[in-house]
Chains A and B, each alone.
Chain A
């Protein structure tokens, strides 16, 4: 059935030729064709006589065929209302539309509520490690190092400035030294005693610590003497061929011992005596040991 045929059947109904109800073919066409359905509603006998309310779908049909749906204009009006540029008459028209259109009503409500919700989106946590990543990319290495260690250095400085820190650290150092000697398998005897003496002395004064160091000096001097003697013995057979090397080694050893004596501050000690020059008789190992023992005493 086409629209012309549908209109003929409507005319027949109005003329009383046919009954009030449309036949199935006309009904099917009206369901498929908005224009004919609208025409059928408008020309329905009861609508023409009692002047009842216009069905909503008729309004939609008219709008579709004239200005188009008004929801787009309503959205513009909602925006203007948000902007505050909607005059009173336009505002009343918008209210009228919102009252009849649930979807536009919902849009208007959501648009109004967004004013309070959008600012909450301003901040988002970037997660751990973000600041460190930025610092790595912006600051030079030295500044990063300082930034990382300044708090720790402050703590260490505060700890070190405590009044008892020298005494405590001296004892701790002594204990560590004893532990190290023990682990190395060195007899603890004199060394441990000297370490403890040194630690005790550190708590009293720096001068006392220096004295404690002097007490250790002879024990260190003996290995140096021994070393020197071994060099002498090794080179004795080839003195003429290795004269230059011998003199160099002598000079080196002499320099070390001189420096050692200077640190000890005991220039008048027997160990501080000048080494025999090349060509003089060298003291034997026994003689050297005797001299070492004498200096220890």
Chain B
């Protein structure tokens, strides 16, 4: 596997093959992140492409090879937030009653995910979808993407202590939702 620093330098030098390698290496991670922000697979796929386009354009301004993943996830997160705002501003094609909308969120996203994800994974994704934005985001960044508390603190603009307590509460809340969805989970 290529050294990440060298790969990034080659990308910045305009090496198309290096850029392709970089996209291949991080495509699953970026798509996974996009799926947690927008749950529709097609929307997430399009969003993931947008994220890579933005990374490509901003790569010239990136400083430091070791911090690439946090930098990449920060760009990705901003892109996701922009997309969510646009989606919220866009009027729905038809009126969806609140209860029905909640059911849509709780339901399995697509049959496609049933093929490649385990039952536990689907259950966690359903529970994540039911969390509030702040709790979901801190779980995505800290527990799923593995960013450090300081990095999340800088990204979200909140103190480190807030990140820690929010992450712990979010995990407990996620567990509560999972048990509510499936009392036999984990037994």
Contacts and interface: CB of A to CB of B under 8 A. Distances in A.
B164 A83 contact: yes
Interface string B173-187: 111101100010111
A126 B27 CA distance: 7
A139 interface: yes
B128 to A, nearest CB: 8
A119 B120 contact: no
Residue of A111, A143, A144 ringed by the most chain B CB atoms within 10 A: A111
B174 A114 contact: yes
B68 to A, nearest CB: 16
A131 interface: yes
A134 interface: yes
Contacts of B45: 126-127, 130
A66 interface: no
Interface stretch (B17-25, B75-83, B84-92): B17-25
Contacts of A80: 168
A120 B124 CA distance: 11
Contacts of A126: 27-28, 31, 45, 48
B143 A119 contact: yes
Band of interface residues on B = 35 or more
B165 interface: yes
B187 to A, nearest CB: 7
Contacts of A82: 168, 171-172
Contacts, number: 129
B185 A139 contact: no
Interface stretch (B49-57, B99-107, B150-158): B49-57
Contact of A147 (B16, B53, B172, B183): B16
Contacts of B19: 135, 138-139
Interface in B10-53: 14, 16-17, 19-20, 23-24, 27-29, 31-33, 35-36, 45, 48-49, 52-53
B8 interface: no
Interface string A98-134: 0000010011111101110111111111110011011
Given A79-B165, A119-B146, A131 B24 contact: yes
Residue of A103, A123, A124, A130 ringed by the most chain B CB atoms within 10 A: A124
Contacts of A134: 23, 27, 49, 52-53
Given A118-B139, A127-B45, A143 B144 contact: no
B115 to A, nearest CB: 11
Contacts of B185: 106, 110
Contacts of B31: 123-126, 130
Contact of B171 (A111, A127, A139): A111
A135 B27 CA distance: 12
Given A125-B116, A138-B52, 7 more contacts: A118-B139, A121-B121, A122-B145, A123-B32, A126-B27, A130-B27, A146-B16
Interface of A: 75-76, 78-80, 82-83, 103, 106-111, 113-115, 117-127, 130-131, 133-135, 137-139, 143-144, 146-147, 150
7 contacts: A78-B172, A79-B171, A82-B171, A108-B175, A119-B144, A123-B28, A125-B28
